[in-house]
Every structure is written in structure tokens, then in C-alpha cells.
Structure 1
């Protein structure tokens, strides 16, 4: 009962936070028919700035970190991404109205990581003085890349088998280039910015530019990103209505289940390598999120047969708001009770 009470209080405060407030505000003005729009170039610049800040901070801390302590959380992050994809593929295979290729793409997107959600939970935890290992952002690619690669590989294998069964001439075009998928993921804008920031923080001494430029601007840029995500979420709702309603159900329940899987693995890491409760929360929210930057273009090229309205609509219009509004307070309260 105390858990439910604490969760509801934190949920209410989360709706009053600037992070979620800007998200809801974006949805409201889009619903009212506002013509306000943020140029795509500004959106990409903001994402770059946020990920650079996260990456630089993580790289600076990795210099002084015990790398052996990172191995198990990194392994668990990879396992989480793979399990989420396999679970999603299994669930969608049980629903006759869902096309297989759409199920693979949706599972892959929810197995990958949302940069905006990850940035949002870091702000919330800093506001509440919840400590965590600063190298946790380095776990991002360990979950993101395996999830996208697995989803694309499984989808291509399925399409190759179907083409062979249909006697289609497309079978020669369905060969799976795993390294190409990994390379494309690493070259994506989100991972490129994060990895660049990690390298700069690890190999250089960017402390002054970090303290005077990236740190002060972080919260302001995040609020604009949340506003953009809110408008995008409302726009995608109409797309989601055109596909099976099962996507909305999955997008609502999936983040909670995925986060609980990662929370359980993080709990194990806590007892084995003393992974901090804050780190466990970050890992759980990372799993609860669904990729909004690197994932969609990677899946568009890797699974071109899938319907973007299904997987992007489910992620943006339902998955991201659930991850930010519900999963962040849920796992913070859960960590406070468990630890």
C-alpha cells in the first residue's frame, strides 16, 4: 500500500515537472490545431547537444572508473535488449491481425533506447539527488545495437523464407548483412554523438567547456525536445489508429514489463558488483524507453517492408509518454523500497 501511495504521489509530481509539462504542452497545442513547428535542423542540433553532454560526462567519469565493474551491467544491458526483442516477436506472433514484419520492427524499436527519455530520467534523478555511476550512459549502445540488429536479422530471415515459399525472385535480395546493420547503427546520428562525447570525455580534458556550455544549456534544450516530442506524439496518434489497436496495448504495457526485466537484472548486478540503486533505475528506464532517434531510420532501411505507422506510431504516441510519465516514477519508488 505504501508503494502505491508513494508511486501516485511521485506520478502527480512528475506531471508537474518541466520535463513532462513540456511534453504534455506539445500534445495540447497540437490537439488545438496550432501551426507552431520546430525546424528539423533545430531538433537534430538539440539531440546532438544533449547526447554530447551525456557522453562527455560519462567519458570524464570512465577515466576514473573501475572498468571491471562495468562489464556485468554492460552484459545485462545487451541481454535486456535481446530479450525485449524476442519477447515482442513472440507476443506479436500470437496476434493474427499483426503482420510479422511489423511485429519485428516494433519489437526492435522498443528494444532500442530513447535518447530523450534517457536524458529526462537523468534530469529527474539529479533534481532528487539520486546518485548513480556516471559511466551508465556508456551502456546505451550495448542495449540499442543488439536489439536493432536482432530485429532486422530476424525480419530478413522471415522475409527470405516467405519469398522462397512464394517462389519470389526477391530471395536473392534478402541476404542479411549483419556487419552492415551494426555499421549503420553506429553511424546513426544518436549513437555517433554519444560515442563522440564519450571519446572526448575519456581522451581529452573538456571540463571547462563542459561546465560553462553543455551543463548550463542541458535542461533548456531538454525542455524544447520534450515539446517537440509532444507535438510528434499527437501527430502519430492518427497514424496509430489506422493499424491494429494491439500496438497501443503493447506500447502501454511493454515499457513497464521491459523496465522490470532490466530492474531485475540490475538488482543482480547490485549484489554481485555493487551496481548502485540509481544505476539500476537508469538501466530500467533505458529498457522501458523506445528509440526515437537512431531506431526509426535504421529500421526503415533494414526492414523496408514494415509499416512505419505501426512501429513509430506505437513508440512515439504511446511508448514514450508511458516511459517518461509512468516508468520514471515507478522505478524510482521501486528502487527506494527494494534497496
Structure 2
């Protein structure tokens, strides 16, 4: 185990992430132009989506139905477990919803780093796992917001017609179309789904055109992106410390709990060692793109420094350095 953690720690993507954290801690003037940061995000989303679509074209629907069901189960159950844990540590409900959506959704970059780890270790995995990423992005966000509305309406049923947040529209209908639009058609999901569908339609015919940019250069671009993420994570660390040891432990321990659950589900639905590891990585990761975008307008009372600080400042580096090899070892043990 220690050798695998050391191997992952000494990989270029992790070392450049650590370099970014060091730069932030010591207040270096190093920074990425906002346009470049946005371009790197778009690149990674398209690369993962189109590779997943091409690989998915090789499989029949019968072979992927069980992993899809497992992914949806994880997306539904993790927000519920998160709310139960946060109730025990007496976190207020709005911030609990924020964390439930964040930790129930997934980190596309953590997944990308896990792919790099498996490729470097020579471990194969199912190509349709890139499609599973898309499926696990939204369910937890929708489940969390639905739970919020159920509790709010139970506590104050007379306010139903005037609610304008979350899943309840100002007209009194159950579903707020704006929240659904943000959850399903936000930048990350739109690019992932769109590029995946394009890859699925074109199959191997797309490879000659997309390989030079979206396959051959993937790991190099990931290094640049993680350097930038290290800068952002380092800036978020002080915000996490403001909220005490309990939240810090939550950001460190729940990835192991949810990652183990993901590994177990991956094994039950028949994934390979690599696929099971990736299912654990997805379950153990936390969103800092899709979920915060939805929470910003749907649950404005939730404090971004809590759900973003934990996901980006604690859970993301933990998974990058320790979590990925740990999920791999758990997958090996289960299988």
C-alpha cells in the first residue's frame, strides 16, 4: 500500500498540484488567466466525454445496464447518508444540503487523475466508465434539492405557493425548471453528454481526428489544470479551518466511506479491477463545478466556503494523493 501511495504521490500530476498549493500558501504571484483556466476545463470535459463515447460504441446496452443502475444508486444514496452524518454533528440544514449535493456529485478531475494512475500502472478498465461519469453528475444534486423542498414544505406548508428557490417554482409547481436546466444543461454536463454522444455516434471513425489533441495530450493538459487547481485549493484551506475539526474530519473520512461503498457497488455489478477502482473514485470524490453552480442559485443560504472549501481544499487533495491508491487496494481486496 505505501509503495502505491508513494508512486501516486510522485506522479507529475500530483506533484504539480502540490506545487500549486505551495504557491498559494506562500502567496506567490503565480496565477492562471481566467480564460486559460476555462479553456483547460472545457478541454478535459470534452476529452473524457468523447473517449467515453467512442469506447461505449463497442458495448451493447445489456452489458452496461447493471453498471448504470449501480451509478444511479450511488448518486441517490450518498446525499441521504451525508445528511444523516451531518445531523449527528449538528450542522444546520441548508449547509447540510450544500454538502449533500457536493459530495453526492463527482469530481471530473479526480476521475481523470485516477485514469492516469491506472494507465501508468498498466491496469485496464471498462471504456464505458467515462459514460458513467456523466450519469453520476446530476442525480445527487436533484435528490438533495428535492429533500430540501420536502423538509421546507413539511415545516411550513403554507409557504408552498410563494416558494421560488430550489425545486419549487414561484407558481407553486413542484419542479423549478431553472434548477432542472442548471443541473442537466450546465457547462460540465452539457459538454460531457454532448461529446459522449458525438463519440458514440462516430465510434472509431472519430479517432484519427480526436486522437492527437484529446488523447495524446490529455495527461500534459491535466498537469496544467492541476497546477491551477492547487492554487485554488491552497487559497481555500484557511476557509475550512474556520469551521472546526468536525468538518475537517468529515472532508477526510467520508471519501473513504463513500469510496468503499462505490468499490462494493462496482464489484457487485461485475466491473473489472480497474472499473471497480474508478467506481470507488467517483463515489469518494466531491464536486466543485456542477454542484456549486446549482447551489449558488438554489440554496443561497448555504455557505460556499464550507462546501467548496471542503471539496476543493480537503477532499480533492486527499483523493489525489491518498484516496485513489486506497480505493485501488480495497478493490483488489474485494475482488
Aligned CA distance change for structure 1 residues 87 and 178 (closer, same or farther; 3 Å): farther
Q: How far off its partner does 1:43 sit? A: 1.4
Shift of 1:320: 0.5
- Residue among 264, 276, 280 paired with 2:276: 280
Pairs within 5 Å for 1:7-46: 7-46=1-40
Aligned match of 2:187: 189
In 2, are the aligned partners of 1:60 and 1:201 still within 8 Å (CA)?
Answer: yes
Corresponding residue for 1:74?
68
* Residue of structure 2 equivalent to 1:4: none
User: Residue 338 of structure 1: CA displacement?
Assistant: 3.4
Contact kept? 1:156, 1:303, Cα under 8 Å: no
1:326 & 1:221 partners in 2: Cα distance? 22
Q: What displacement does 1:13 show?
A: 1.5
Q: Which residue is equivalent to 1:338? A: 334
- Contact 1:153–1:178, Cα closer than 8 Å, also in 2: no
- Measured after TM superposition, the shift of residue 180 of structure 1 is 4.2
Distance 1:172 1:201 in 2: 41
- 1:27, distance to aligned residue in structure 2 (A): 0.4
Contact 2:125 2:272 (8 Å CA) reproduced: yes
Question: After superposition, what is the alpha-carbon deviation per residue over 1:170-191, rounded to whole angstroms, capped at 9, x for unaligned?
Answer: 9533525265433322211111
SS at structure 2 position matched to 1:42: helix
**Contact 2:263-2:330 at 8 Å conserved across structures:** no
Matches of 1:71 and 1:305 in 2, distance apart?
38
1:217-259 deviation per Cα after TM superposition (whole angstroms, max 9, x unaligned): 2111101111111111111112112324322111100111001
2:98 alignment partner, one of 95, 105, 121: 105
Number of residues of Structure 1 aligned to a counterpart in Structure 2: 326
Q: Where does structure 2 lack aligned partners over 5 or more consecutive residues?
A: 169-173
> 310-319 or 234-243, which moves further after superposition?
234-243
| Residue 126 (structure 1) aligned to one of 112, 119, 131 | 119
Structure 1 outlier segments of 4+, above 4 Å: 167-171
Match of 1:268 in 2: 268
> Given the superposition, is the C-alpha separation of residues 95 and 54 from structure 1 closer, same or farther in structure 2, using an over 3 Å criterion?
same
For 1:299, the equivalent position in structure 2 comes to 295
Residue 199 (structure 1) aligns with: 197
For the residue of structure 2 that corresponds to 1:209, the secondary structure is helix
Find the partner of 2:139 among 132, 138, 146.
Answer: 146
Could you tell me which of 159, 163, 166 is aligned with 1:172?
163
Judged with a 3 Å threshold, the aligned counterparts in structure 2 of structure 1 residues 170 and 178 are, in CA distance, closer, same or farther, namely closer
Distance 1:195 1:169 in 2: 34
- 2: CA distance, partners of 1:295 / 1:308: 11
CA contact (8 A) 1:75 1:142 kept: no
CA contact (8 A) 2:260 2:330 kept: no
Whether the aligned pair in 2 keeps the contact of 1:285 and 1:327 (CA below 8 Å) is: yes
CA distance in 1, matches of 2:26, 2:123: 37
Q: Secondary structure at the match of 2:46?
A: helix
Offset of 1:200 from its aligned partner?
A: 1.4
Query: What residue in structure 2 maps to residue 3 of structure 1?
Result: none
Q: Secondary structure at the match of 2:226?
A: helix
Correspondence for 1:241: 241
Flag the 1:168–1:267 CA change in 2: closer, same or farther, 3 A.
closer
Instruction: Name structure 1 gaps, 5 residues minimum.
Output: 1-6
- SS, match of residue 164 in structure 2: helix
Q: Could you say if the C-alpha distance between residues 47 and 86 of structure 1 is closer, same or farther in structure 2, counting changes exceeding 3 Å?
A: same
Q: Distance in 1 between matches of 2:255 and 2:199?
A: 31
